[in-house]
């Protein structure tokens, strides 16, 4: 089963950038990569709550998403959550492998920073 470009255009009002793309590539760009980006942003937001109040971490993640919508920069991982900017559908040619590798690097950095911060915090107050 392959995706017909005319059906895709009538459903989403967008052209496929690569008409020879397979269903597995579309699955990666439409389902997997946005989920990985969401998990990464969530992990970064939870790490940020170790330093600031949760509302400020939420506002920072929202601002990061909004900035990513206006600037097509590979370091803005919110670009990888938009299939229109992917190599298969869009015009910016963001690849799946670079998106996953950047998300993985951000996740590792968030975990390391979180572990460092938790080791420095006084969680149990011995009174």
Comparing 56-60, 71-75, 83-87, the range with the smallest average pLDDT is 83-87
Residue 66 lies in a domain: yes
Residue 64 lies in a domain: yes
Asked if 74 contacts 54 with a C-beta cutoff of 8 angstroms, the reply is no
Residue 39 lies in a domain: yes
Query: How many domains, in total, are found in the chain?
Result: 1
Residue 115 lies in a domain: yes
- Partnered with residue 94 across adjacent β-strands are 86
Q: What is the pLDDT of residues 87-107, one digit of tens each?
A: 777 677 788 888 899 999 999
Distance CA 96, CA 1 (A): 22
Residue 69 lies in a domain: yes
What is the percent of the chain with per-residue pLDDT over 90, rounded to a whole number?
39
DSSP code of residue 85: G
The pTM for the full model equals 0.76
Q: Which domain holds residue 72?
A: 23-120
Distance CA 41, CA 126 (A): 34
Residue 101 lies in a domain: yes
- Residue 14: both structure tokens together: 């967008």
């Amino acid at each position: 089963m392959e995706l017909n470009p005319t059906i895709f255009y009538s459903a989403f009002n967008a052209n496929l950038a690569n008409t020879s793309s397979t269903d597995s590539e579309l699955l990666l760009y439409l389902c997997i990569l946005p989920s990985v980006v969401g998990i990464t942003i969530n992990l970064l937001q939870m790490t940020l709550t170790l330093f600031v109040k949760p509302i400020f971490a939420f506002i920072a993640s929202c601002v990061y998403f909004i900035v990513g919508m206006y600037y097509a920069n590979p370091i803005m991982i919110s670009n990888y959550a938009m299939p229109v900017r992917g190599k298969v559908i869009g015009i910016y040619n963001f690849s799946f492998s670079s998106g996953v590798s950047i998300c993985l690097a951000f996740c590792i950095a968030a975990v390391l920073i979180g572990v460092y911060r938790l080791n420095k915090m006084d969680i149990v107050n011995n009174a």
